[in-house]
Amino acid sequence: MNILEQSNSEKKYWHKKFHGKIHEDILNLTNDIDWGFVHEDIIDYFEKYCIGYVWTNHLALIMLARSGYSRNSVNTVRGILGVLNVRFQSLFKELSIQTINHWNPDIHLYEYLNKKILPEHTENQRFDLLKSYNSSISSVLNWLNSKFDLCTQEIFKPFLLNRCNITHTISNQKKVLQLSQSHRKNETDAIIPHYPVIRGEAHFRWNKIHRLFTKFKELTAKVTPTTSLPLEFDYDEEQTRERLFFRIWDRPSFTIAHKDCYSRYSIDLAKNRRKTYSNENNEFFLEFVNVESLDGNKCIEGLWFEDLISESVLNQLPATGSKEQKERKKKFLLSWGYGDSDTDSIPMPFRTSVKGLLAQGDYICHAQNHTDCVLLKIETLYAAATFGLALVDLITTTGMRINEVLQISYTKDCIIVLNQPDNPNKLEKRYILRLIPKGRDQPEDYFIGKETLNNLFKVFGFLKEHYNNNHIPKVKYRATRRHLFPEEKPYFFQYNYKHFTDDSVTACMRFLLHGMVFKTPEGDNVVLKAHLLRHAFATHAVQVEKIPLDIVGSWLHQKNIEVTDYYSAPTPSQVAQRADAWLKYTATHINITEAVKRSPEELKLMYEEAKNKVGTLNKVIGGICTSHSFCPSKFQCVGCAAKVPESDKKNELLKMKEWAQKSGNDWRSMGLLPEVNRMNQVIRDCDKELHEIELMEAYKKDENYKPEVRIKPIK
């Protein structure tokens, strides 16, 4: 709905929220359009966090100016209000400032920027305050000068923040930016050589936890009221050559078996199955007992997340326990690079803000703390791994932002199947996600491969089982830019009827990839983040594949080419991409051949012309193309960053490699060394893509592996 078409009652939403809380002159502005441009999310945020301070009215003007005049996005306005409000709280308290009239930015901000006060704050925190402060003052002044007469401007003068005149003398903004960008590039440099390994390891780990979850369900289905627990079982992991040993417990059996760790009252409740041990509250869970190498002399991997369980650091657990326990947890997390050692805050890298996701539950957490057992609530861990795999695949093959990933829904408006002519008797299927990029308000096309869709199908299949329904429920969008998505939809990234936030899905990715060690040249641990993988995607495309900046910017759906230039700044890089399978009945199907037949003659000519220039409209060697723009490599597809290799097209790469080897020998015999070098590059590109396909074949084979489970007889 256009903001000007809102009903009168909707326009007064701010009035109900702010009546008696901000100055009447601001609240009763006669120009409703300015208030009408302030989104309800911003109003709710302001009411919750910014009311009751000496600067409240000043921030209210900033809120109006940035929303109605500067037309900043909801996230931008909320972020700037947050920076100003939180920093003012710290500064006013530290400086014992009681009124806004005593605030002098030329003195107080100068001291802050030069670390004379609040030295524990980072350079980025100082830089963000200066940037937000100055830009907000400019926005308010421009808004007042353009919208109001001099008399009205005088009314609002008491609510204007004092100008800051020290920017050019002390600001080291450039230095801060360079340090930040240098740090990001060092992190990118650390992970790019391992890109294929990251994707492959993510798949292998998902396969491992999928097997465990499947066996757990099969065995618990056989448990009857007369079954004696624990139920012990083991099976072999073919890929790692290990044997894993587990026990299945329920609450009463575990408490009774560990009676030294529980009170008499708890044991009595367990024996009589009352209260927390009643049939209604009871649950099955796993104990990870042991792991043995089948080779005898091999390093043991076990479960990659075992230390996260034994150290009790999943979700919000780092903030629980005694002071000594919290310190131990913080030390553990810092050793992996999670958090900042210079602050007192406790890092919570696996917090999801979604009920039950990466949460073991009170009983299991208590049992974990009072015994030496490694206990697993396997469904919540399997859920996180499944969501994490889908995220890793989406970002490393398309460079998507998290807020774009979280838009993916089980609707025909989102998922499109494009039927293209491959040969006269066959249509080639291409898959598109329709999502709204950052800074836009209309959906754009994201071409993806079959493997990516297969991983989304894993999420869909899990959600159907989780909800015990053939359909996944419609839920409210909770991530950033939620003002663009007011309608509830069956989003893929949801759990227990709650849509994910950025932090939720990042926690799932971190869980899946935990323990993969990457270090910067300075020796610092690199914590994998979605945005870091996006940087690596851009860097490889520009620096290795030499794809023009504007084309890469188009793939990443960026408006500003300077941002793409920063994302893709050089590091020693080698990125890999790939893909594979699903989708028949959920999507909109578009048959290009039929569409062209029904089109005017000019459209036929346009399509035929585009088919010779646009990669997504063509079949390419060794995979599928995701570049929906004029082909930057002129269809030299082997080695192109826009191509996602596919295992069923391996033979095409082998033939290309064989041709390049033969051609290279022919050119060498003729003394044409530049042509020999060109063929050598083709061979290297073929080898790189063949290696990716071999990794893909390996984790697909591992995915189909069904181990024999050995269990003790059920009584």
- Nearest residue to 535 via CA among 151, 183, 271, 287: 183
Residue ranges of the domains in the chain?
9-165, 192-377, 398-557, 598-702
Distance, in Å, from the CA atom of 313 to the CA atom of 325, rounded to the nearest integer, reads 11
For residue 421, name the pLDDT band (cuts at 50, 70, 90): low
Confidence check: pLDDT of 701 > 70? yes
Phi then psi dihedrals of residue 155, to 5 deg: -65, -35
Only one residue has tokens 């309800």, namely 40
For residue 627, name the pLDDT band (cuts at 50, 70, 90): low
Distance, in Å, from the CA atom of 399 to the CA atom of 205, rounded to the nearest integer, reads 22
pLDDT tens string 88-104 = 999 999 999 999 999 99
- Output the pLDDT for position 137: 94
For residue 572, name the pLDDT band (cuts at 50, 70, 90): very low
- Output the pLDDT for position 296: 77
> How much is the average pLDDT of 665-682?
83
Least confident range of 115-124, 173-182, 332-341, 443-452: 173-182
Confidence check: pLDDT of 424 > 70? no
- Output the pLDDT for position 352: 93
For residue 569, name the pLDDT band (cuts at 50, 70, 90): very low
Name 495's bridge partners.
498
User: pLDDT: is 444 or 497 the higher one?
Assistant: 497
Distance, in Å, from the CA atom of 589 to the CA atom of 85, rounded to the nearest integer, reads 49
Least confident range of 139-148, 179-188, 583-592, 642-651: 583-592
Least confident range of 128-137, 354-363, 583-592, 701-710: 583-592
- Output the pLDDT for position 636: 65
Residue 708: what residue type?
A: E
Confidence check: pLDDT of 378 > 90? yes
Distance, in Å, from the CA atom of 190 to the CA atom of 194, rounded to the nearest integer, reads 8
Least confident range of 40-49, 448-457, 521-530, 658-667: 521-530
Q: CB count, 10 Å around CB of 37?
A: 19
Name 365's bridge partners.
none
- Output the pLDDT for position 482: 79
Q: CB count, 10 Å around CB of 712?
A: 12
Sign of CA dihedral 42, 44, 49, 50: positive
- Output the pLDDT for position 389: 96
Distance, in Å, from the CA atom of 658 to the CA atom of 663, rounded to the nearest integer, reads 9
Distance, in Å, from the CA atom of 639 to the CA atom of 622, rounded to the nearest integer, reads 10
pLDDT tens string 308-346 = 999 999 999 998 989 999 999 999 999 888 887 666 778
- Output the pLDDT for position 683: 87
Residue 40: what residue type?
A: E
Least confident range of 150-159, 177-186, 220-229: 177-186
Only one residue has tokens 């900043």, namely 72
Confidence check: pLDDT of 617 > 60? no
Distance, in Å, from the CA atom of 403 to the CA atom of 623, rounded to the nearest integer, reads 27
Sign of CA dihedral 522, 523, 527, 530: positive
* 647 token code pair: 């295992």
Confidence check: pLDDT of 300 > 90? no
Confidence check: pLDDT of 551 > 70? no
* 626 token code pair: 């995701």
HEC sequence for 630-698: ECCCCCCCCCCCCEEECHHHHHHHHHHHHHHHHHHHHHHHHCCHHHHHHHHHHHHHHHHHHHHHHHHHH
H helices of 52-122, in order, are 56-64, 74-95, 105-113
* 128 token code pair: 């963000």
List, in order, residues 6 or more apart from 472 with CB less than 8 Å away.
Answer: 410, 460, 463, 464, 490, 492, 494
Residue 536: what residue type?
A: A
Q: In what order do the strands lie in the sheet with 415-423?
A: 444-448, 426-435, 415-423, 588-591
- Output the pLDDT for position 126: 87
What does pLDDT average to over the chain? 81
* 149 token code pair: 């007469």
Task: Spell out where 478-576 has E strands.
Answer: 494-495, 498-499
Strands 242-250 and 231-237: antiparallel
Distance, in Å, from the CA atom of 490 to the CA atom of 405, rounded to the nearest integer, reads 14
Q: Please report which helix (H) or strand (E) contains residue 231, including its range.
A: strand 231-237
List, in order, residues 6 or more apart from 697 with CB less than 8 Å away.
Answer: 647, 650
* 160 token code pair: 């204007």
Q: Please report which helix (H) or strand (E) contains residue 317, including its range.
A: none
* 368 token code pair: 């974990």
399: left (phi over 0), alpha (psi -120 to 50) or beta: left
- Give the chain's length: 715
Helices (H) and strands (E) in the chain, counts: 29, 13
User: pLDDT: is 184 or 39 the higher one?
Assistant: 39
Confidence check: pLDDT of 1 > 80? no
List, in order, residues 6 or more apart from 328 with CB less than 8 Å away.
Answer: 311
Distance, in Å, from the CA atom of 380 to the CA atom of 357, rounded to the nearest integer, reads 5
- Output the pLDDT for position 117: 92
For residue 203, name the pLDDT band (cuts at 50, 70, 90): very high
Confidence check: pLDDT of 575 > 50? no
Confidence check: pLDDT of 606 > 50? no
- Output the pLDDT for position 585: 32
pLDDT tens string 578-592 = 223 223 333 444 444
Q: How far is CA 365 from CA 201, 217, 398, in A?
A: 28, 21, 38
Confidence check: pLDDT of 524 > 80? no
- Nearest residue to 525 via CA among 535, 510, 537, 512: 510
Confidence check: pLDDT of 596 > 60? no
* 21 token code pair: 């809380």
- Nearest residue to 471 via CA among 489, 452, 490: 490
Confidence check: pLDDT of 609 > 70? no
Is 597 exposed, middle or buried, given 0-12, 13-18 or 19+ CB atoms closer than 10 A?
exposed
Q: How far is CA 350 from CA 288, 310, 529, 602, in A?
A: 21, 14, 12, 55
Task: With H, G, I as helix, E, B as strand and everything else as coil, classify residue 498.
Answer: strand
pLDDT tens string 164-185 = 886 544 445 556 555 555 555 6
Distance, in Å, from the CA atom of 516 to the CA atom of 599, rounded to the nearest integer, reads 53
